[in-house]
Amino acid sequence: MLRIRSRAGLLCLPLLLMFSACSQRKPSVGDAERFLAEAESRLLDLATQEARISWVQSTYITHDTELLAAAARERTIAATMDFAKQATRFDGVDLPPEPARKMELLKRALTMPAPSDKAESEELSLISTRMEGVYGRGKYCPGGDSSNCLDVGAITRTMAESRDPNRLLDVWKGWRTISPPMRQDYQRYVELANKGARELGMPDTGALWRSKYDMPPDDFAREVERLWEQVKPLYVSLHAYVRSRLSQKYGAAVVPPDGPIPAHLLGNIWAQSWENVSPLVSPPGADPAFDLTKILKEKNIDALGMVRYGERFFTSLGFEPLPPTFWDRSLFLKPRDREVVCHASAWDVDSAGDLRIKMCIDITGEDFTTIHHELGHNFYQRAYNRQPILFRDSANDGFHEAVGDTIALSVTPEYLVRVGLLRTAPDASKDIGLLLNRALEKVAFLPFGLLVDQWRWKVFSGEIAPANYNQAWWELRRKYQGVEAPAPRSEADFDPGAKYHVPSGVPYTRYFLAHILQFQFHRALAKAAGCADPLHRCSIFESKEAGQKLISMLEMGQSRPWPEALEALTGSRQMDATAILDYFAPLKKWLDEQNQGKATGW
């Protein structure tokens, strides 16, 4: 520890001397480049330390590991804040393009900006780590029976499999008992993060988050709404159809045929995706003709085998295999002897090849897809790790989320045949079933992916006051999703905190963008692969042409503004939801036919 402190002191000394001199003269390009070199070196060292400690905290949740993770996070945030503030001293320097971009990225690097006051910075880190720990340990014990408690995985399975509305309501309400204890912490988190954002020249933390997209924050907010308006008609058609089928199943008294859908009946703990209600809403003859979960189990594919399938897809495109350390250090199964954060995540621990995933894998088709998604992060991380440190990230955070999902769109019946998981692909008569299943996953998610940050942006700006946290949450759920709480909710509840990304402070608009971008990527890569089939039947598996196009974009990292990275892959500089409309065009026509004479909207 003494050596580390000494090293930190040596790094700070030149900066202090430099800025003392800068008080008497204008900083030069050379001063800026030396500052950036020292900042990158220091931040890489701190980020690696934090990643290692955070890995332990996520896979061994204890009071002590939470304290260690909080301290590591505080050190990284404090250093990043310090460098971000120092970077503003170079605002008037005419820098070459590369250092100029680094300066801009450094100034908006944080998602959880901490105040410069050390006590407040430490408090913010502790609150953040504590909320994540509360979520990770969260359980619901029906009837108060501590011997029969359900964690998030068990509740997720119940929500997916049960068709008993009373049972679904019970576990839906039960999971939301974990979050009220976070409410006061979250209010303080907002206060402290906003104070840090203002020190960086931003009005609030939401504006800081929106500033990360190579455009002014308000312009980005309008861009998100533009994309939503492009896809909204498709979502409204899907919503109307699903509501009608659920109303037939549960009765109009439970699911009104012209109002919002009760959130507990959509097969997902947050009603964010609806693929688990596919058996209830798919009409006769529209089934997808195969059950991937059943296939995986019948073939005795274990968790490690599922990950191998994901790796094989990437290597078929021309990527190098994952390193041996990936297989040694990743967490694939939930341990029996300790608490872990089961939420799937991908890790690049040292920005130099120590890649891992952390995931409590179940043998399901859903987890098969999730594995492809997480590996997309890992292969992206490795592709850009030759870039300068401040460029070792995706073009924007939506790109990172989109890459793996783009690969998952190629998990078509034809792909499953080629890898031996399916004997023959279903014929075109099954396309509506295939598309409906995918729409229940992808299209249903779009408004949820949008509204989580709509809520947080308004909370950070003060438009939503603490006294209205829960009411505003459900107003947005109704506005965008057409979904409502199935039981009375009050400000004694804190339902946003029952979603992992809220207590963990992870921005969520990236997932909305990813759901737009993945179809735009898929359309471009399918064209590169020479696929002449309908877009929803195209797989880029084993296409080196598509692979090289993808690799070239990934290797850019964050070195260029995201429109340039998008153009390198798709030929367009604008995010465009028409690809998702193209993909689901046959389904939209079918849905509109089914909805004739029925109410749409809510």
Give the separation between CA 142 and CA 268, rounded to whole angstroms: 19
Its pTM stands at 0.86
The 10s digit of each residue's pLDDT in 159-173 is 999 999 999 999 999
Amino acid found at 182:
M
Burial class (CB in 10 A: 0-12, 13-18, 19+), 146: exposed
Instruction: Residue 91: count other Cβ atoms within 10 Å of its Cβ.
Output: 10
Q: Are 50 and 163 in contact (CB under 8 A)?
A: no
Among candidate residues 501, 545, 564, 567, the one labeled active-site is: 501
How high is the pLDDT of residue 360? 93
Among candidate residues 132, 311, 339, 374, the one labeled active-site is: 374
Q: Are 582 and 523 in contact (CB under 8 A)?
A: yes
Give the separation between CA 516 and CA 418, rounded to whole angstroms: 27
Q: How much of the chain, in percent, has pLDDT values that exceed 70? A: 95
Give the separation between CA 327 and CA 308, rounded to whole angstroms: 10
pLDDT at 5 over 50: no
180-205 mean pLDDT: 95
The 10s digit of each residue's pLDDT in 567-591 is 999 999 999 999 999 999 999 999 9
How high is the pLDDT of residue 288? 64
How high is the pLDDT of residue 73? 86
pLDDT at 236 over 50: yes
The 10s digit of each residue's pLDDT in 198-208 is 998 899 999 99
Q: How would residue 284 be classed by pLDDT, with cut points 50, 70 and 90?
A: confident
How high is the pLDDT of residue 24? 58
Q: How far apart are the first and last CA of the chain?
A: 60
The DSSP letter of residue 320 is P
pLDDT at 241 over 60: yes
Q: How would residue 291 be classed by pLDDT, with cut points 50, 70 and 90?
A: confident
Give the separation between CA 5 and CA 387, rounded to whole angstroms: 27
pLDDT at 383 over 50: yes
287-307 mean pLDDT: 90
441-449 mean pLDDT: 97
367-394 mean pLDDT: 94
The residue with greater pLDDT, 407 or 525, is: 525
How high is the pLDDT of residue 163? 96
How high is the pLDDT of residue 401? 86
DSSP string over 147-203: GG-EEHHHHHHHHHH---HHHHHHHHHHHTTSSGGGHHHHHHHHHHHHHHHHHTT-S
Q: Are 124 and 187 in contact (CB under 8 A)?
A: no
pLDDT at 58 over 60: yes
How high is the pLDDT of residue 11? 31
Q: How much of the chain, in percent, has pLDDT values that exceed 90? A: 80
pLDDT at 15 over 80: no
Q: Are 59 and 340 in contact (CB under 8 A)?
A: yes
Phi and psi at residue 349, in whole multiples of 5°?
A: -65, -40
Tokens of 560: 């260029």
Mean pLDDT of all residues in the chain?
Answer: 92
Give the separation between CA 203 and CA 186, rounded to whole angstroms: 19
How high is the pLDDT of residue 429? 79
Amino acid found at 236:
V
For residue 109, CA distances in Å to 73, 234, 393, 397 come to: 14, 35, 11, 12
278-300 mean pLDDT: 86
In 213-298, which ranges are continuous DSSP H helix? 217-250, 278-281, 292-298
How high is the pLDDT of residue 22? 43
* Residue listed under structure tokens 């908006």: 108
Give the separation between CA 538 and CA 545, rounded to whole angstroms: 14
Tokens of 575: 């995010």
How high is the pLDDT of residue 110? 84
The 10s digit of each residue's pLDDT in 450-473 is 999 999 999 999 999 999 999 999
pLDDT at 85 over 90: no
How high is the pLDDT of residue 144? 87
Q: Which of 18-27, 104-113, 454-463 has the lowest mean pLDDT?
A: 18-27
The 10s digit of each residue's pLDDT in 533-573 is 999 999 999 999 999 999 999 999 999 999 999 999 999 99
Whether 501 is catalytic: yes
Give the separation between CA 292 and CA 413, rounded to whole angstroms: 10
The DSSP letter of residue 331 is B
Phi and psi at residue 287, in whole multiples of 5°?
A: -70, 155
pLDDT at 389 over 60: yes
Q: Are 543 and 529 in contact (CB under 8 A)?
A: yes
DSSP string over 496-563: GGGSTTTTTT---HHHHHHHHHHHHHHHHHHHHTT--S-GGG---TT-HHHHHHHHHHHHHTTSS-HH
The 10s digit of each residue's pLDDT in 255-273 is 999 999 999 999 999 999 9
Amino acid found at 518:
Q
Strand 483-484 with 261-262, pairing:
parallel
Amino acid found at 96:
P
How high is the pLDDT of residue 547? 97
Q: How far is CA 59 from the centre of its chain?
A: 20
Q: Are 140 and 149 in contact (CB under 8 A)?
A: yes
Q: Are 377 and 404 in contact (CB under 8 A)?
A: yes
The DSSP letter of residue 141 is -
Q: Which of 7-11, 393-397, 443-447 has the lowest mean pLDDT?
A: 7-11
pLDDT at 3 over 60: no
